[in-house]
Structure 1
Amino acid sequence: MTKQERADYIRKRLAELYPDPPIPLDHTDAFTLLVAVLLSAQCTDVRVNQVTPALFRLGHTPAALAKEPLEKIEAIVKPCGLGPQKARAIKQLSGILLAEHEGQVPASLEALERLPGVGHKTAQVVMAQAFGVPSFPVDTHIHRLAQRWGLTSGQSVLQTERDLKRLFPKESWNKLHLQIIYYGREHCTARGCDGTVCEVCRTTHAQRKKPVKTRKA
């Protein structure tokens, strides 16, 4: 298979396996999604979904969280790891949204990336899942699988993103990035597949005999 043939097969197979992949982080609007994605850095979605109900009872709008004591926010988000940094980022970005964006999450990648605690991947997730803007956020699952599937060299997360955007049609990006995440969690796991085990690896690289070493995100 050529690289493009592999990409075409992967898109078709993942669409069969996950025709309507749900957004894994519980949220009700763009702001609660932004906070949940921020908390998910170096933390599982399951843990984030356990923590956010208490946080959003404390405040589910920028106005509400901006006026809450930092200590209260930190006490709630602590189980997600990096509690002081994440709590400070949530409180600060809430204030910025009030002061600069009329209390609304901006539908702009550049504006999102300027918010405290919001990196390129987080901003892209919000653009894709809150606003429907075609984006291809690359997390650890996608970075690992793209290398195993021979779609990128894995030199960097940004390089992986660029390579995937070239291989897949733009209209598929938002759904496909979720489909890859689910496949990576359920079939092509970090320890359960080494590039020779799961269905996609075996189909796209039928002659492969040796494990694939991947670069970390």
Structure 2
Amino acid sequence: MAGFLSVLKRIYLTLYNWTVFTGWAQVLYFAVKTLKESGHEHVYSAVERPLQLAQTAAVMEILHGLIGLVRSPVSATLPQIGSRLYVTWGILWSFPETQTHVLVSSLVISWSITEIIRYSFFGLKEAFGSAPSWLLWLRYSTFLLLYPSGITSEVGLIYTALPFIKNSEKYCIRMPNKWNFSFDYFYAAIIALGIYVPGSPHMYQYMLGQRKKALSKSKKE
């Protein structure tokens, strides 16, 4: 029974990783194609659907960690996925004024290259038990550039959205109301920006540690 469940887990994770890989490959293809042919102003409209689907599918990784399907700690997975979902839905989708910004291009290209490498790496590991050493190196090295460019784009887009958030009062809850509760999305966005200040260096240090561990282990093998 345990052997059957192990095989079932590997089949599921293989399908999951390659499905999401396909989504991110579409994002990168449409982003580069549109950037070349039409300019950065049209990148978001070209990648919106695959971007939303691929990024939202990452929610499953939190569940995978919670139920022990993968070894990745939820404490590391949750903030990264949470911030990306916030930018995808809470900024870009919610405030169309941000969609033509040049940072959208750097955002989706940084995200998609990172995820294409990551999902193909795990897809191969689940399917065949291992991945090529060059893909391992890419998995734990490209973030050195792509993480800063992605984070800079995220922060820049949230900052760009602030005046639109404030003027629209979207998602705000004003008193008086039956819940006796108020919520201002503008200040929530400012808090989100504030979280990036300690959060980004912490995550970068965590990934540097993971890189050192993975590459040293690879050399020993």
TM-score scaled by structure 2?
0.25
Bigger share in helix: 2
